[in-house]
Amino acid sequence: MTPADNNSNTPNDWAGVRRGQQRRPLEWLVEKGIFLVSLSAILMVFLIFLFVARESLPLVLGQVDARAARTSMTLDQIKALPTAELAKLLAMSESELATMQKAEPETVTLLIDAKFEEIVVAPTDKDANINPVAWRYLLRPHEWSGYAKPEYIWQPVSTIHKYNIIPLVVGSLKATLVALLFSVPLSLGAAIYVSQLAAPRTRELLKPAIEMLAGIPSVVLGFFALIVMASVLYPLYPDKSRLNAVVAGVALGFAIIPVVFSIAEDALTSVPRSYTQAALALGASKWQAAWKVVLPAAIPGVFAAVVLGFGRAIGETMIVLMASGNASIMSLDLFDSVRTITATIAAEMGEAVKGGDHYQMLFLLGTLLFAVTFISNLVADQVIHRLKAKMEGRA
């Protein structure tokens, strides 16, 4: 499954050995080319981070001002503004505005119109002068006018854009938690059974069957959760939302079962047979050998499987977009509708204006997602790598 698992045992031994003919200059060039191309994976990871983070950079640096109230201006006055001030008003960098004016002038006109309308209908209460993309409002609750107490609110389309990301983070975590609770016991049980207990012929049948689950596109799982599962489960909680963290989480669980299963199965299989044989020779049953000898030896791999499952679940989009209800309610009740980070990006990207504060906010969420999955991948990777090295050293 993971390429890092392949260690130096087989063909690599000839890697640096000079045998055969001397290389020709052209071949030397081609081989350098091969090396350069092989760097593309690194380049891509780097570019992904760079370009997702780049779009949200002004916001992170606090350069964006998305205040609702502004000095009163007429439409003509706005249009007559010099580029620098107009860029500031539209919350864009000057060069961005210049490119946009060249590439799509009608978008700029639309932006100006939208801004003008904002100015006209801008509220004049205490929140009017708040810059809602300041970190304080992204992370901490605020008592918006009209609300009785400080609250966490994600509401990007309103006169005052409210971008508190906490409800989205909580939503993602809720759906992920349900997914893990549902899928980890199942897939670990299956991994133990398939790798240690099942007869070889049954194993040959079961393994591909479970891996087939990975072949179901996530949009199909989302469809299944939305059309079938939600209706089947709804009678169990008639006074709650029909689409909620549980429905989305269980469907999400389907999606990560193959991930958790195959990594855990791989880790369990990598434990040398001699461990099991020794336990069996001492009179243990197959289950006892699996549970008390093999599983403890492979436990880092199991941990890695769960971490990767977490990363996959938190980054999954279509299932939660379709089956979670998509209401950004700040609550810990698993039967409430949730709006996850991924679903928010998917649903709102279409209506966000390029370069605007909403757009940058969505890219910031993307950067956050990237960081979380990057770290969980890194951790899992290291753990698996060490486990393999240990197992192979001892074998």
Partner 1 sequence: MDVQTPQLHFKEQPIDPDFGDFRVKSRDFASYFFTGLTGLATWLIVALLAVILANVVYHGWGTLSWRFISSDSSEDMFDATRAGVLPMIVGTSARVILMTLFVLPIGVITAIYLTEYARSTWMITRIIRGAVNNLAGVPSIVFGLFGAGFFIYFVGRGIDSVFYSEVEGGVWGKGGGLLWASLTLAVMTLPVVIVATEESLRAIPPGLREASLALGATKLQTIWKIVLPQALPGIMTGGILSVSRAAGEVAPILFTGAAYYMAGYPEGLRDKFMDLGYHVFALSTQSPNIEMTRPILYATVLVLLILTFTLNLVAILIRARIRRQMRSMH
| Shortest separation between residue 39's beta carbon and partner 1, angstroms | 7
Closest to partner 1 by CB, 129 or 285: 285
Closest to partner 1 by CB, 41 or 157: 41
CA 243 → CA 76, 225, 373, distances in Å?
47, 9, 26
The three-state secondary structure class of 338 is strand
Closest to partner 1 by CB, 164 or 183: 183
Strands 162-163 and 154-155: what pairing?
A: antiparallel
| Shortest separation between residue 266's beta carbon and partner 1, angstroms | 13
Closest to partner 1 by CB, 67 or 167: 167
Q: Which helix (H) or strand (E) holds 154?
A: strand 154-155
Nearest to 354 by CA among 155, 67, 110, 134: 110
- The two tokens of residue 375 are 């770290």
Closest to partner 1 by CB, 3 or 82: 3
| Shortest separation between residue 312's beta carbon and partner 1, angstroms | 7
Query: What backbone torsions phi and psi does residue 155 show, to the nearest 5 degrees?
Result: -155, 75
| Shortest separation between residue 103's beta carbon and partner 1, angstroms | 5
Cβ–Cβ < 8 Å for 249, 177? yes
CA distance 358 to 356: 6
| Shortest separation between residue 275's beta carbon and partner 1, angstroms | 13
Cβ–Cβ < 8 Å for 122, 159? yes
Q: How many C-beta atoms surround the C-beta of residue 331 within 10 A?
A: 14
User: What does the H/E/C string look like for 7-40?
Assistant: CCCCHHHHCCCCCCCCCCHHHHHHHHHHHHHHCH
Closest to partner 1 by CB, 120 or 227: 227
| Shortest separation between residue 62's beta carbon and partner 1, angstroms | 21
Q: Which helix (H) or strand (E) holds 1?
A: none
Cβ–Cβ < 8 Å for 298, 227? no
Give the angle subtended at the CA of 257 by the CAs of 216 and 183, to the nearest 5°: 130
CA distance 135 to 140: 8
| Shortest separation between residue 376's beta carbon and partner 1, angstroms | 7
Closest to partner 1 by CB, 55 or 151: 55
Closest to partner 1 by CB, 121 or 232: 232
CA distance 60 to 136: 12
| Shortest separation between residue 216's beta carbon and partner 1, angstroms | 7
| Shortest separation between residue 241's beta carbon and partner 1, angstroms | 16
CA 25 → CA 14, 32, 70, 248, distances in Å?
21, 11, 67, 58
Closest to partner 1 by CB, 131 or 377: 377
Closest to partner 1 by CB, 143 or 392: 392
CA distance 267 to 305: 9
Tokens 């891996």 found at: 211
| Shortest separation between residue 119's beta carbon and partner 1, angstroms | 27
